[in-house]
């Protein structure tokens, strides 16, 4: 026990080194985004942005701003749709336990296993027939399929932890099922709501398959396609591409700083039982 402090310091040093190795690609993305176009193919490459150049970011402002707005819109729309569908369903499965609820839970679990490209191909035909290709809300619908099963799972897991006495008390006070849900269950489920909202936003923001399949023709494209088109068109201006990538990573960074415990909760919720 006496050698604890020195061992702890050694662990910290190793931990910092490991983290640095793991995050090197992220650092490199930032470094390249600040490299002047002329130095892009320099040999050896500049390992530090000693002469930072913001022309890549200027290109983002000029070309990518509309795409960022679309992504924000699609992300928020997906969050709203996911919460509206998932929270009541979670309440039903956790507390009201309808006959056949177990089957619905099983179907939701299976739904999560279906590959995105298969869904994309199915949606492609439907969207084409309905004439809703290249609409932002069509993309919201498609993106929500990534998040809804997960959302129901999180809400179910969380809400079954709410003591029955709480809902029973609301009933004794004369609240109906809906009132109980809105004024008792939802307020105490804040953590689950935040977790589901975070992940559905992040997934919609990051989606590439649905966007590329269902929304690549119109003018309202999300940022993932903005980057993809950049790579396709001018694959020499890597500072602009990486600058867009940095900007597209901002939501992930914000989430990590503001809501780290929700993120960890979301990752583990599906996989590990308490």
Q: Which residues, numbered 189-228, are part of the site for another protein (CB under 8 A)?
A: 202, 205-206, 208-209, 212-213, 224, 227-228
Residue with Cβ nearer another protein (54 or 162): 162
The answer to whether residue 160 forms part of the interface with another protein (CB under 8 A) is yes
Nearest distance, CB of residue 249 and another protein, angstroms? 5
Q: Residue 31 in contact with residue 46, Cβ under 8 Å?
A: yes
Q: How far apart are the first and last CA of the chain?
A: 31
Residue 100 touches another protein, criterion: CB under 8 A: yes
Cβ atoms of residues 67 and 223 within 8 Å = yes
- Judged by CB under 8 A, which stretch of 50-58, 72-80, 132-140, 235-243 contacts another protein? 235-243
Around Cβ 174, how many Cβ atoms within 10 Å?
Answer: 7
C-alpha triplet 201, 114, 91: angle, nearest 5°? 55
CB of 97 or CB of 190, closer to another protein: 97
Go through the chain and tell me how many residues it has.
274
Report in angstroms how near the CB of residue 39 gets to another protein at its nearest: 10
Q: Judged by CB under 8 A, does residue 77 bind another protein? A: no
CB of 165: closest distance to another protein in angstroms? 9
Q: Among 96, 130, 166, 258, which residue interacts with another protein (rule: CB under 8 A)?
A: 96
Buried-exposed string 98-126: b where 16+ CB fall within 10 A, e elsewhere: eeeeeeebeebeeeeeeeeeebbeebeee
61 vs 252, beta carbon nearer another protein: 252
Q: Which is nearer to another protein, 145 or 189 (CB)?
A: 145
Q: Within 6-65, which residues bind another protein (CB under 8 A)?
A: 7-9, 11-12, 14-16, 18-19, 22-23, 25-26, 28-29, 32, 40-45
Separation between Cα atoms, residue 41 and residue 45, nearest integer Å: 7
Residue among 38, 48, 99, 163 that touches another protein (CB under 8 A): 99
Tell me how far apart the alpha carbons of residues 154 and 172 are, in angstroms, rounded to a whole number.
Answer: 28
Q: Which of 114, 236, 101, 231 is nearest to 156 (CA)?
A: 101
Binding mask 115-154 for another protein (x = CB under 8 A): xxxxxxxxxxxx-xx-----------x--xx--x---xx-
Measured from the CB atom, the residue of 61 and 106 that comes closer to another protein is 106
Size of the residue set binding another protein (CB under 8 A)? 113
Give the Cα separation of 30 and 253 in Å (integer): 13
The answer to whether 29 touches 245, Cβ cutoff 8 Å, is yes
8-state DSSP, 37? G
């Amino acid at each position: 026990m006496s050698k604890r402090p020195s061992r702890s310091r050694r662990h910290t040093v190793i931990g910092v080194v490991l983290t640095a190795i793991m995050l090197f690609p992220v650092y490199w993305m930032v470094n390249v985004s600040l490299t002047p176009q002329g130095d892009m193919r320099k040999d050896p490459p500049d390992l530090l942005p000693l002469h930072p150049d913001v022309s890549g970011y200027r290109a983002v402002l000029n070309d990518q701003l509309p795409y960022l707005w679309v992504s924000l819109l699609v992300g928020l729309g997906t969050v709203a749709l996911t919460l509206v569908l998932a929270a009541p369903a979670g309440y039903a499965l956790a507390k009201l336990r309808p006959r056949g609820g177990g089957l619905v839970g099983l179907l939701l679990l299976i739904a999560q296993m279906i590959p995105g490209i298969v869904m994309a191909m199915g949606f492609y035909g439907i969207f084409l027939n309905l004439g809703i290709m290249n609409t932002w809300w069509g993309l919201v619908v498609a993106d929500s399929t990534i998040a809804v099963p997960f959302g129901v799972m999180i809400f179910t897991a969380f809400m079954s932890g709410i003591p029955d006495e709480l809902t029973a008390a609301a009933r004794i006070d004369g609240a109906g099922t809906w009132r109980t849900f809105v004024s008792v269950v939802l307020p105490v489920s804040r953590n689950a709501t935040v977790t589901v909202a975070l992940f559905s936003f992040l997934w919609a923001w990051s989606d590439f398959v649905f966007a590329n399949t269902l929304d690549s023709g119109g003018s309202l494209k999300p940022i993932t396609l903005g980057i993809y088109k950049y790579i396709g068109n001018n694959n020499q201006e890597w500072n602009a591409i990486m600058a867009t990538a940095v900007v597209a990573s901002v939501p992930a960074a914000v989430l990590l700083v503001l809501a780290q415990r929700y993120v960890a909760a979301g990752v583990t919720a599906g996989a590990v039982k308490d």
